[in-house]
Amino acid sequence: MTQPAPPPDALTALLRVTDAALAYLPLEELLVELLNRIAEILRSDTAAFLLLEEGTDELVARAAKGIEEEVEAGVRIPVGRGFAGRIAAERRAIFIEDVDHSYVLNPILREKGIRSLLGVPLLVEGRVTGVLHVGSLTTRIFNEADRDLLQLAADRAGLAIEHARLFHQVRVVEALQQSLVPQELPRVQGVELAASYRPASESTGIGGDWYDAFTLPRGEVALVIGDVMGHGLAAAALMAQMRTGLRAYAVDGHSPAGVIERLNRLAMLVEPNRMTTVGYAVLDLEHERLRTVSAGHLPPILMPPDAEPRVLSVEGDPPLGVASGTRYREQEFPLPAGSTVVLVTDGAVEVRGEVLDLGLERLCRLVARERDLEALCRTICHGEAGPEPGRDDIAALAARVRPLPDRLTTRWAASRETLSGMRPLLRRWLGKWGAAPDEIYDITVAVQEASANAVEHAYAPGDALFEVDASHDDGLITVVVRDRGHWRPPRGVHRGRGFVMMRALMESVDIDQGDDGTTVVLRRRLQGAQG
């Protein structure tokens, strides 16, 4: 027996809802277009899409025809209740010939006076993602062919919705992930920085780990590593807030403990009960000190020059988001030139059922063995010191303080903002030659006066550079500040004060204004220095 051919109008209808051209429409337009075509083919008075809202058990009206108010009013139907709710819960088509209005939850359907309803679930890989229904203002029978056509349109919409959702999620996750780690690590004279991050291989979403590194206004280098409990967008959003909050408090000039205490208050405010651990380390290069605070985070590893790496015995304080008013303690460790600091998240060392110390020992051995910081971070993130690779998110951040060269050769952007960054380097370099605190201060001011002049007078606006070279010879410090522009003669009452300061603070100040720029040579002999 041969199947009767479908009537020509049924075939046309089929083609109209499976039309490939629909795939090129944005999701909202696709839904509206499908509703138009369905309503026309089935000659229904109304048609509507309700989509299951992610993370909830509610259907939300997304597109409607004939009952547009439904979308405007943002009608929400709990799964399992009412007409649409039951279709979603029972995952099957439901036809109601004569609507018992007490049964329909949606007041708009009732107000419109809809008599007959047919609805089908939107199914994607067996999951319900929404409901499509059509309605008639007069009592009518929707037959099986109507139901099949409606289901076809629902399937078509279901796929498109799923694609749009996944595409959107991927973009959101990518954007968030990008915002959670610095685009590039800061470049600081005398410090080498490296970092790596690797999300768990089986996780589809975003990891809970983040790291950050930035310079503080007074020249210190801040290292941050953190871990927000959980995965997904909510964890990522909190992570982004914590990262921004920490930067803001740090740049505002608060002490490391002050920064973490404020961050805890912020965490309690925005999302209490979601635990976040943070390790915060501030590298004070000038005084060769490391200050650390731990909010429930793994202690840092410190490898001094010519010594074995060790786990810093940091007093651990509670994670963020646990209790308001938590006091955080700050600890200080010597950080001589050549030292390496490594911060990691638990994923790097934690093996289920094992004492944490074992993992930290493995990490120390790794730090001792791998001297290249980039390679070290990559190896840590590969899971070398922990469980099998890819089990958990891993973030690693490492810094090494480089010994300063005998002769300092530096280039700076001709901007006032670079002045404060120059001071710690200069102070550290002068300290290396045994300069007394007063001498360090005086020479620093003189070099800054020359540099400020180079910034202020030497250039047309732009990203020009100037050079500061410092050398030492048997107790005599010589600093040369060279730019490529022309100094204008000082103007105004206060303009010449920089020169007065330079001359008062240094033994000699020589200014050479040539065609290709201005060179200032500053000299001063250190008093107590060993030659």
Partner 1 sequence: MRALARVLIDRSGAVPVAALDGEVDASNVAEVGAELRAVVDNRANGLVVDLTPTSYLDSAGINLLFALGDEMRTRQQTLRLAVAPGSPIGRMLSIASLDRAHPTYSSAAEALAAEPS
Residues that bind partner 1 (CB under 8 A): 217-218, 251-253, 416-417, 419-420, 423, 437-438, 441-442, 444-445, 448-449, 452, 455-456, 493-494, 497-498, 500-501, 504-505
Q: Which SS3 state, helix, strand or coil, does residue 283 take?
A: strand
**Number of CB atoms found within 10 A of residue 508's CB:** 11
Rounded to whole angstroms, the Cα distance separating 478 from 491 reads 28
- Please choose, from the candidates 410, 449, 415, the residue with its C-alpha nearest in 3D space to the C-alpha of residue 426: 410
Query: What does DSSP assign to residue 320?
Result: B
Rounded to whole angstroms, the Cα distance separating 401 from 336 reads 7
Rounded to whole angstroms, the Cα distance separating 100 from 132 reads 19
Phi and psi torsions of 57, nearest 5° = -115, 40
Rounded to whole angstroms, the Cα distance separating 488 from 453 reads 9
Q: Which SS3 state, helix, strand or coil, does residue 289 take?
A: strand
- Please choose, from the candidates 172, 195, 173, 170, the residue with its C-alpha nearest in 3D space to the C-alpha of residue 182: 195
Rounded to whole angstroms, the Cα distance separating 436 from 528 reads 7
Sign of the Cα pseudo-torsion (240, 241, 247, 250, in order): negative
Is 418 within 8 Å of 188 (Cβ atoms)?
A: no
Rounded to whole angstroms, the Cα distance separating 320 from 265 reads 8
Phi and psi torsions of 245, nearest 5° = -60, -45
Strand partners, 120: 132
Is 395 within 8 Å of 195 (Cβ atoms)?
A: yes
Q: Per-residue DSSP letters for 146-203?
A: HHHHHHHHHHHHHHHHHHHHHHHHHHHHHHHHHHHS-SS----TTEEEEEEEE--TT-
Rounded to whole angstroms, the Cα distance separating 326 from 409 reads 45
